[in-house]
């Protein structure tokens, strides 16, 4: 069941800024009154939060050390000023240090 967001309205039908969420069947009619207080409400239109192919949620697992290594990449992470260590993959040196 989807979660819907509702806005509480004043006596003139203008939003008061107060909102609440409620789980409802997609087939259910939209609420017209607050379930607890009886105040007038309307369903708010909000952007959906979907974890698609390019979302930050998906990106985190795609760029994990395990996945990069599986795809044949080598990843280095900075461990200090001028010093990096290999954290994924098996190609290349274990560490890289800048020469002064």
Please indicate, yes or no, if residue 53 is contained in any of the structural domains: no
Rg (CA), the chain: 26
Contacts of 49 (CB under 8 A, 6+ apart): none
Please indicate, yes or no, if residue 50 is contained in any of the structural domains: no
Judging by beta carbons within 10 Å of its beta carbon (0-12, 13-18, 19+), is residue 41 exposed, middle or buried?
Answer: buried
Same domain, 7 and 39: yes
How many independent structural domains does the chain possess? 2
Please indicate, yes or no, if residue 48 is contained in any of the structural domains: no
Measured CA to CA, the distance from residue 85 to residue 93 in angstroms comes to 8
Range of the domain at 87: 65-97
Q: Could you read off the pLDDT of 1-46 as tens digits, one per residue? A: 788 999 999 999 999 999 999 999 999 999 999 999 999 999 998 8
The pTM assigned to this predicted structure is 0.50
Please indicate, yes or no, if residue 55 is contained in any of the structural domains: no
Q: Could you read off the pLDDT of 42-74 as tens digits, one per residue? A: 999 887 767 677 677 677 777 888 999 999 999
Please indicate, yes or no, if residue 71 is contained in any of the structural domains: yes
Within 13 A of 30's CA, how many CA atoms are on the CB side? 11
Measured CA to CA, the distance from residue 9 to residue 20 in angstroms comes to 12
């Amino acid at each position: 069941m989807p979660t819907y967001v509702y806005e509480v309205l004043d006596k003139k039908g203008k939003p008061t800024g107060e909102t609440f969420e409620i789980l409802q069947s997609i087939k259910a009619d939209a609420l017209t009154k607050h379930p607890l207080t009886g105040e007038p409400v309307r369903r708010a239109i909000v952007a959906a939060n979907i974890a698609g192919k390019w979302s930050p949620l998906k990106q985190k697992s795609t760029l994990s050390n395990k996945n990069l290594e599986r795809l044949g990449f080598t990843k280095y992470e900075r461990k200090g000023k001028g010093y990096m260590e290999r954290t994924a993959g098996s190609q290349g040196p274990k560490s890289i240090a800048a020469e002064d």
